[in-house]
């Protein structure tokens, strides 16, 4: 997983509450067994009509939103099932951060495991960002994980994050990488305890 770095990007606004994992990635696409390839199915039922044609009024189908790294949405994003595929689709599409006033708990944890920053701002701050988008149409933000800030021109928003999860992203660590950091201790433990392990097949004299 790549380390999370400071970046500046246009924002894709998704002005909806309670966006669930079925809306993020419909169930018919869960048969893909790798993490790659899900991005083209992100928000599929909102992006395409029954014939598979793009809906021109959906935000992701507008040209200026085709390469943004920041998704701005509302409360309880990622609710519904615990499927990690929804996060895979968001990551594969190219988003690096999601700004919302709250997230579903399991989705929140899955995002960190896949290198995405689920960034929580106050409801009134999220409202303010949406209002600015309506006025300017395009909004550009700079996210700095190290300083835990979101900058919009001259204004700065601060967000909280657990320090372990912050380290997780800054160093580009996943669960396996974190475990391997303790490889020497694990080997020492196994070597020590192997001597005293119970062997049911050992004969007694």
100 pLDDT band (50/70/90 cuts)? very high
Mean pLDDT of 112-120: 95
Q: 120-173: per-residue pLDDT in tens? A: 999 999 999 999 999 988 899 999 999 999 999 889 999 999 999 999 899 987
Distances (CA, A) of 102 to 23, 54, 78, 139: 17, 29, 9, 21
pLDDT at 200 over 80: no
205 pLDDT band (50/70/90 cuts)? very low
Report which DSSP code applies to 123: H
Report which DSSP code applies to 43: T
Mean pLDDT of 110-126: 96
In this prediction, residue 136 carries a pLDDT of: 85
Q: 14-69: per-residue pLDDT in tens? A: 999 999 999 999 999 988 777 788 999 999 999 999 999 999 999 999 877 778 99
CA-to-CA distance for 46 and 55, rounded, in angstroms? 8
Which residues, at least 6 apart from 27, have a Cβ–Cβ distance to it below 8 Å? none
7-194: CATH topology is Aconitase; domain 4 (3.20.19)
**Pick from 139, 99, 91: nearest CA to 119:** 99
**Domain ranges (residues) in the chain:** 7-194
In this prediction, residue 193 carries a pLDDT of: 66
């Amino acid at each position: 997983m790549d380390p999370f770095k400071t970046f500046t990007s246009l924002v894709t606004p998704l002005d909806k509450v309670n966006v669930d994992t079925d809306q993020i990635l419909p169930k018919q696409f869960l048969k893909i067994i790798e993490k790659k390839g899900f991005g083209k199915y992100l928000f599929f039922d909102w992006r395409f009509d029954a014939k598979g044609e793009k809906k021109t009024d959906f935000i992701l189908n507008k040209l200026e939103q085709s390469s943004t790294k920041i998704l701005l949405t509302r409360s309880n994003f990622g609710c519904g099932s615990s499927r990690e595929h929804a996060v895979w689709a968001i990551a594969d599409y190219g988003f690096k951060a999601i700004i919302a006033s709250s997230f579903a708990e399991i989705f929140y944890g899955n995002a960190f495991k896949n290198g995405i920053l689920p960034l929580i701002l106050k409801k009134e701050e999220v409202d303010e960002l949406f209002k600015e988008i309506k006025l300017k149409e395009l909004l550009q933000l700079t996210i700095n994980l190290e300083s835990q800030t979101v900058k919009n021109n001259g204004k700065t928003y601060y967000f909280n994050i657990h320090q372990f999860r912050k380290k997780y992203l800054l160093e580009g660590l996943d669960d396996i990488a974190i475990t391997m950091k303790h490889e020497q201790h694990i080997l020492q433990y196994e070597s020590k305890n192997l001597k005293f392990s119970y062997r049911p097949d050992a004969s007694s004299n």
